Structure formats: C-alpha cells, structure tokens
Amino acid sequence: MKAELLKYYIFAVLSMLFWGLTFVWFKIAVAYYEPISIIFIRLLLSSAMLFGFIRISNKNESIQKEDYKWYALLALSQPFFYFLGESYGLKYVSSTISSAIIATIPLFSPLAAMWFTREKINLFTISGIVVSFAGIVVMLINPDLSLNAAPKGILLLFIAVFSAVVYSVIVKKLTHKYSALTIISRQNLIGAFYFLPLFLIFDFQGFSVVIPDMKLILALLQLAFFGSCLAYLFFIMAVAKLGMIKANIFTNLIPVFTAVAAYFVLNEIFSVQKIAGIVLVVMGIVVSQTREIRQLMVGKRQRDKESGRQ
C-alpha cells in the first residue's frame, strides 16, 4: 500500500517538472506567435495525441449526461481562464517569477478543499505551505522590498492561480467516476473550442504570416505532449489518490524546475536570492509531507521485519 502511495508522489513531482518546463518552452514560442495562437495549437495537438491513444488502446469512456456541465466548467477554468492568465502574464513577467506566482496555488487550495471536498488539513501541511510560500516571497521581492515583476503581469498570473484552484475542485469530483485519460482528453478538446473564436478573431492574421522553424515546432510539441498531456494525466491521478491539498502542495516545485531550466535555456540569472528561495520551497514540500514520509518509513520497517521472520 505504501509503495503504491509512493508512485503517486512521483506522479505529482513529474507533473510539476513538466509544468515548470512549459514556462521555458512558452517563452520560446511567444517570440513567434501571440499567446492565444500558442494555446490553441497546444490544445489541438494534445487533443489529437490523447484521442489517438484512446483509439489505439480502446480506452474510451462515455460521459454521463449530468456531467456535461462539469466538463464545460472544467475546461472553462482550465485551460481557458488559466491559460489566458498565465500566457499573457508571461508577456510581462520572467518565466521564473511567473512560475513562482503559480506556485501560490497551495495557499488557496486548502480553503477550497475544506469548503467543497471536506478534506482535512494537518499541522505539517499548514507548516509546509508557510515555509514554501516564504521561499516564493524571497524569489519575488527585491532587497529594497520592490517587486521583481510588473503589477499587470502579477494580476494576470493570479487569475490563473484562482482558475487552477477551481479546476482542482472539479477534477476531484470527476475522478470518482472517470479516468484521468478521459478527463484530460475532454478538457483539452472543449478548451480548444473555447479558444477557436479568439484565435480566428484576434490572432489568425498574424499566425498565417509566420513561417515555423524547428525551434518553434519543437517548443509547441513539447508544450502539447509534456505540458498538456503527461503533466495533466499525472496530476489528475495524484489528486485522485493523494487529495486536492497534498497534490497542489507540489505546485511549489514548479519555480524550482523553471529557474533551473531558464538558467540553462534562456540564460536567466540564477542569483543567491533565487537559490535561497528554492531551498525554502523544497523544505516546505518536505515538511508538508512529513506525516506521509513517516508512514512510508514505518511501513518499510514493518515489511523488512516480516520478511526477516520468514
């Protein structure tokens, strides 16, 4: 049972790794296309990948009529409002700072979880959230207490944060009836339809004159496969097993992965301030999961004793 639980912790970390890298890939793509074009193409590509896999593996599930409204709301919260806030926020804020703001999702998730899913919060979880948030603040605030980012970009990114919290609540509800593959495939397809009018009205003319090169194509494929397929699949499975609060705490790892990737790919500065923030974020993750780590260790010792007796 404990080994099974560990698998879902790995899923949570992998989903955050892939989402952390999307901030870097998006920065590459936005040099060619406007955000709406990038999101629309990303959703189309990921939908084609997911439905292609469903067809090959014969894992199609029918959606019950009473759940149509939940899928419509799911796609409206994420990808629609989430990607609009995140993508336009990235136009004004660096990839590392953007990911740090997105990592504030765990601060709001516990309240939503208590109200809507009746999840309980322990002291380790609260302590971990506080420590991780301190690390994010260290990354966001200059020594003179000024912000490292434009207020407009910060506001847009917080729209994405609140959309992600709503998304987690709806996902938790749907995981009781549907697989992660079913949820994410429908979510991305509906999201593509939401973005289609915006793409045709605002971005199509600019999109049509761009000649894609391999750098752009690779960035879009990575956004679709890792960011909109694997990351969401792993995250939904983690939410179903670990709960909304614990799964969202791992969101604090996103700025860590983004900062490292941005240093190597985008040549962003990796300052002592960022390193200190990253250390605090990781410490917060460990603290928040202390109870579960102890349970895993106890379970391992018990299994070792039992195998020794045999």
Contact predicate 171/236, CB 8 Å: yes
Q: How many domains does the chain have?
A: 1
Question: 0.85 exceeded by the pTM?
Answer: no
* Helices (runs of H) and strands (runs of E) counted in the chain: 16, 0
Tokens 């923030």 -> residue: 277
Q: CA 5, CA 25: separation in Å to the nearest integer?
A: 31
Q: Tens digits of per-residue pLDDT, 230-262?
A: 999 998 899 888 887 778 778 778 878 888 888
Distance CA 284, CA 99 (A): 16
Q: How confident is the model at residue 13 (pLDDT cuts 50, 70, 90)?
A: very high
Q: Letter for the amino acid at 184?
A: I
CA 75 to chain centroid? 14
SS3 state of residue 141? strand
pLDDT band at 148 (very low <50, low <70, confident <90, very high): low
> What residues make up the domain containing 198?
2-309
Looking at the DSSP bridge assignments, the partners of residue 141 are 147
Residue 73 has pLDDT above 70, yes or no: yes
Which residues, 6+ apart, have CB-to-CB distance to 179 below 8 Å?
Answer: 59, 61
pLDDT in tens, 149-193: 678 888 898 899 889 888 888 988 898 899 999 999 999 999 999
Does residue 94 sit in helix, strand or coil? coil
Scored b (16 or more CB within 10 A) or e, 98-119 reads bbbbbbbbbbbbbebbeebbeb
Average pLDDT, the chain: 83
Residues near 162 by Cβ (< 8 Å), separated by ≥ 6?
108
Token pair belonging to 100 = 């740090």
107's enclosing H/E stretch is: helix 105-112
Supply angle C-alpha 96, 102, 105, rounded to 5: 150
Each residue's pLDDT tens digit, 15-37: 999 998 998 898 899 899 998 99
Q: Which residues of 12-40 are buried (b: 16+ CB within 10 A; e: fewer)?
A: bbbbbbbbbbbbbbbbbbbebbbbbbbbb
Does the pLDDT value for residue 99 go beyond 70? yes
Q: Is residue 183 a contact partner of residue 189, using CB atoms and an 8 Å limit?
A: no
